[in-house]
Amino acid sequence: MKQPGRKTSSLLVYASTLVAVSLWGLSYIWCDRLIQQTIPVEFFLPVRILSAGLILLVVNLALGFNIRIRKEDMTTFLLLALCEPFIYFFCETYGIKLTGSPTISALVIASTPVVAVFAGLFFFKEKVTALNMVGILICLSGLFLVSHARSETGRFFVLGILVLLIAVFAEVGHASCTKALTSGYAPSVVVMYQFLIGAVYFFPFFLARGLETYDPVLYWSWDVWRPILALTILCSSLAFSLMAFSIKHLGVAKSTIFLAMIPVATAVWGLLLGDEILRPLQWVGLAIACAGLILTQWNAKKTKDA
């Protein structure tokens, strides 16, 4: 027999995940606008993260959530913030610079679900069927078609690939820590501490490099703060909370596969905003990636319950 309440809950979880991925896809465009204005990564990342943490602090207090960290969980929170935002954001940004190829960089980052599947299997005993594994391969194949483009590689290409792989493992570490913590804390509380602790990690870099070319006229202009606020409120506070909610209910393996769709989300946003036009082959890749994504979430038990 079908369970209406359960179905509604599942729809909410998947909708939350898709909104998070969509916002993260849009974040690349907002970050690019800041970089084009020569705003250092070491400036806008710490500002974005600290602001998001403070916003979530106010929200959690207003909602009456318990924000006290239990002593036994402190190490996990420190590791969570170390994996992401700190290691992941730095390695992703500099990996793209070193490879000289956004396309190849996106494909490396898109391999995150493959690593996450094994993390879910070994650490959380999550069940992944052969059909789910086939879905991952199909999804990644579709992503290759979407992301495929001619591009020149940089002098430090191999080093860039290694740096991006570190980002991949950092993302899986972040998802694993989130899974462990959301069983005892509200998702928004987990993300709040993730950002507040992460801001502490970023602070030395903010002082050393973030203010090197500080220009008050530029740095406090609306053209700079509009994307920073969008990144803070939508891509950090909201998107990370939604993904933490997703990881709590779907697990590490099934929730992380959606991260492979971020390059696709960026491409679609670029099309909608007039920044990029997708070729027919890329639309085919998009359809293949979506089909693979459905297979990664397929559970044979659902058909029995219908």
pLDDT digits (tens, 9 = 90+) for 37-49: 888 989 999 999 9
91 vs 121, residue with greater confidence: 91
Q: At residue 306, does pLDDT exceed 50?
A: no
Residues composing the chain? 306
**Alpha-carbon span 302 to 258, nearest angstrom:** 20
Q: Please, what's the largest Cα pairwise distance for the chain? A: 64
pLDDT per residue as tens digits for the range 52-110: 999 999 999 999 999 999 999 999 999 999 999 999 988 887 777 677 656 566 667 76
Sequence-distant (6+) residues with CB within 8 A of 83 are 170, 171, 173, 174, 177
Mean pLDDT on 190-213:
94
Structure confidence at residue 229 as a pLDDT band (50, 70, 90)? very high
**Alpha-carbon span 28 to 33, nearest angstrom:** 9
Between the two ends of the chain, the Cα-to-Cα distance in Å is 6
205, 203, 266: which is closest to 235 by C-alpha? 266
Residue 277's pLDDT is 65
Structure confidence at residue 299 as a pLDDT band (50, 70, 90)? low
The H or E element spanning position 13 is helix 4-36
Please state the pTM of the whole predicted model.
0.77
What are the b/e assignments for 222-239, b being 16+ CB within 10 Å? eebeebbebbbbbbbbbb
Sequence-distant (6+) residues with CB within 8 A of 174 are 80, 83, 84, 88, 194
